Structure 1
Amino acid sequence: MKYIALIFILCCNIIQAQNSDVFNDDFIRKKVELMNDNSDGMIPFSYSPEFKRILIELVKIEWLEKAIKISDYYFPLFEEKLAKYDLPNDLKYLPILESGLNPKATSSVGASGLWQFMPSTGDEMGLGSNNLINLYYCPVANTDSACRYLEGLYKSYNDWKLVLSSYNYGMGNINKKIKKAGSRDYVDIYPYLPMETRAYVPKFLVIKYLVTYQNIYYDNNKKFKYVFTDLAQIKIENPTTIKDLAARYDLNDRFIRFANPQLLTEIIPKGAIIYITKKDPS
């Protein structure tokens, strides 16, 4: 028993040593440099003690690990929409920070969806809801609206750090801070930002790092059978139900609910856009 206990302790020490290596300053610095070399250059950054502190803080969060594991499903959709609007591919990491990739996420202040739109902004971007459909929860509608909104923010600020800060803090608030700082330079505005917004860009970069090196920091073997862009879009010609649609296309009704979080009830109204796997009707 003593030998078994000794072996167990040695194994635990080895595992702890291996885990600590991934938080070693030189290890992180080299990984950041490699990531920058393969990045689209949206926000180049370097290793810093703050980056390491946030990394250690975020890697412990359970919802973030779950979000990273589901990112393979949503990223092709994000990448397709970002390319459509000629936006940096790195913006695909933003909804992880915003919603944890929960399409039905609703914040304490009322923002909802993958990209977390406030009702006033969402309505302006063409989102909306009724008792059957909530487009704030629709991955496609929410993502397309986010891309158009981010496109507008970049035209206003021409600085991705300011764009991200505005996304978190609000355009009106950022404009007030620009006026107060007497500058449109992020470095000059930074001291006037609230703590949450100061941490927003660093957290965004850490999430990018964790997604890039997820196999180092997480046990991430689970893969989705589909990615969102594998799905076919259909328009409902006559009112139906999730159960009837599932039977018609030989699908699991749970999958239809998962792929279409915008559906609020079992009823699917005429004219609704629905996403299903690419199978012919049975």
Structure 2
Amino acid sequence: MLRIILVLVLLIQSSDAFLVTQNNFQEQVKVLKSFDIDSTFLKDKTFISMKDKMNRYRTKHFLKVLEEGNRFVPYLRKLINDSGIPKAFLYLAMAESNFAPNAYSKAKAVGLWQFMPATAKHFGLKINTYVDERKDPIKSTKAAIKYLKYLHNIFGKWYLAAIAYNCGEGTLLKAIKRAKSDNLNVLLNDRKRYLPRESRLYIRKIVMMESLANSADFIIENNSDYLLNGGSAETFAKVEVKQGTSLGAVAASIGLSLKEIRSYNPQLRYDFVPPAKGKYTIYLPYNKQADFKQNYNPKKSNNRFFVYRVKKGDSLHKIARRYGINYHIIKDYNHLKSKWLRIKQALIIPIVKPSMISYTIRKGDTLGKVSHKFNVAINTLIQANNKRNSIIRVGEKLVIPQMQ
């Protein structure tokens, strides 16, 4: 969490003047009120001392974080504004992760909002073989809003919800019990240390970040005028694709690199969407939405993918026959140097959309022989012909899937 603490006060030498201007004073009072905090908090000694520490932090870093966050921040801001929670909670995400969807902590917290696995799942985020929705900027923000509302229902004040988000419900409840008060000034007492140091700085950090990020004076004085309008336009679009779709195929259709489209979809663990039934929503640059509608043809995208976990007794040959493909395809897709496999090893299995031919059963044929003849798995033949078992009759016509 050291990196997060270092972003704490991130601001400029000229901010002394910024903090005392009437407009900024009123802005800070407004933010404090939204958190259920009295305006006298502006006299908090630690908050004031932050001004003296400004020269230890890089303004350029703060502004860079704002700039890099502009890919998703406009949409996140709208979600938060529409939710009824304090607008300044947007900067809780900045404090937690620097607006980085792939942020990861030693405590196994992940994403923009630094969700732990259990909390993420409790608030509806999926974490499985194919996705980690803690990294999904939109879904994780919706989950964070639910979580903050839940904490507000427990503690009754937004500043307590923010502190609980940082240190946990149990830690805050113990702190309130020890302090015999939920008053912010009491809980933030640096001498009594009712709360961990990071939690004592948390509200101060959010208020400071929100005030500076929304200060035209601050932005202009640091030659970053372009940030003033950076969040006003839509920056990404949501489109639906079929199960198992390759991100590479989508990227090629809109003239992007695979790396770029992956950066818009950090929730995906692999270069394809989950193979679950139905459609899956992915994110694209907003200016590529028209290209997608015009150029992407799902019928031309024959490949679909899923992940197979190696079991005892498996081999590349057995797995390949099971799915009716050559074992070299599996080996190549997974960049395997040999045919040796490990139990529970994850293998990407590319399934190619088949075309069909017809075969009439002859005397002496068995389903096994037909399977070998056309290099198609027996189970695939059974499924393609809606058969209940492997029994066949002379003269019977079988549909044979042919991999293209």
TM-score range, shorter chain: 0.7 to 0.9
Mapped to 2, the partners of 1:115 and 1:40 lie a distance apart of: 21
Residue 246 (structure 1) shift: 1.6
Aligned to 1:168: 166
User: Is the CA contact 1:59–1:65 (under 8 Å) kept in the aligned structure 2?
Assistant: no
SS in 2 for 1:113: coil
Aligned to 1:8: none
Letter in structure 2 aligned against 1:36: Q
Mapped to 1, the partners of 2:157 and 2:55 lie a distance apart of: 27
Letter in structure 1 aligned against 2:47: F
Aligned to 2:294: 281
Match of residue 247, structure 1, among 244, 252, 257: 252
Aligned to 1:104: 102
Mapped to 1, the partners of 2:170 and 2:221 lie a distance apart of: 38
Mapped to 2, the partners of 1:263 and 1:58 lie a distance apart of: 37
Match of residue 32, structure 1, among 19, 24, 28: 24
Letter in structure 1 aligned against 2:34: M
CA 1:42–1:165: 2 relative to 1, 3 Å: same
SS in 2 for 1:266: coil
1:233 paired with 2:256, answer: no
Letter in structure 1 aligned against 2:64: K
Match of residue 196, structure 2, among 194, 197, 201: 194
The structure with the greater share of residues assigned to helix is 1
Aligned to 1:115: 113
Mapped to 1, the partners of 2:269 and 2:81 lie a distance apart of: 30
User: Is the CA contact 2:42–2:48 (under 8 Å) kept in the aligned structure 1?
Assistant: no
Aligned to 2:401: none
Match of residue 204, structure 1, among 203, 206, 227: 206
Mapped to 2, the partners of 1:142 and 1:169 lie a distance apart of: 19
Mapped to 2, the partners of 1:226 and 1:38 lie a distance apart of: 21
Mapped to 1, the partners of 2:57 and 2:105 lie a distance apart of: 22
Residue 268 (structure 1) shift: 2.0
SS in 1 for 2:188: helix
CA 1:28–1:145: 2 relative to 1, 3 Å: same
Residue 108 (structure 1) shift: 1.6
Mapped to 2, the partners of 1:157 and 1:166 lie a distance apart of: 9
- Structure with the larger RCO, 1 or 2 (CA within 8 Å, 6+ apart): 1
The structure with the greater share of residues assigned to strand is 2
Higher alpha-carbon Rg: 2
User: Is the CA contact 2:112–2:135 (under 8 Å) kept in the aligned structure 1?
Assistant: yes
Aligned to 1:50: 46
What are the superposed Cα offsets for residues 7-36 of structure 1, whole Å, 9 maximum, x if unpaired?
A: xxxxxxxxxxxx75x143x54211531423
CA 1:170–1:217: 2 relative to 1, 3 Å: farther
Aligned to 1:259: 264
The percent identity for this pair of structures is 25
Mapped to 2, the partners of 1:186 and 1:38 lie a distance apart of: 17
The 5 A counterparts of 1:62-141 are 63-141=61-139
CA 1:216–1:143: 2 relative to 1, 3 Å: same
Pairwise CA RMSD of aligned residues?
2.8
Mapped to 2, the partners of 1:169 and 1:197 lie a distance apart of: 6
Aligned to 2:311: none
User: Is the CA contact 1:115–1:143 (under 8 Å) kept in the aligned structure 2?
Assistant: yes
Q: TM-score, normalised by structure 1?
A: 0.80
What are the superposed Cα offsets for residues 170-214 of structure 1, whole Å, 9 maximum, x if unpaired?
A: 111101111222223223333311211111111111111221234
Residue 254 (structure 1) shift: 3.5
User: Is the CA contact 2:28–2:207 (under 8 Å) kept in the aligned structure 1?
Assistant: no
Mapped to 1, the partners of 2:233 and 2:258 lie a distance apart of: 17
Residue 85 (structure 1) shift: 2.4
1:215 paired with 2:219, answer: yes
User: Is the CA contact 1:102–1:113 (under 8 Å) kept in the aligned structure 2?
Assistant: yes
Letter in structure 1 aligned against 2:260: F
Q: Which structure 2 segments of 5+ residues have no match?
A: 1-11, 296-404
Letter in structure 2 aligned against 1:72: N
Q: TM-score, normalised by structure 2?
A: 0.58
User: Is the CA contact 2:96–2:114 (under 8 Å) kept in the aligned structure 1?
Assistant: yes
User: Is the CA contact 1:63–1:100 (under 8 Å) kept in the aligned structure 2?
Assistant: no
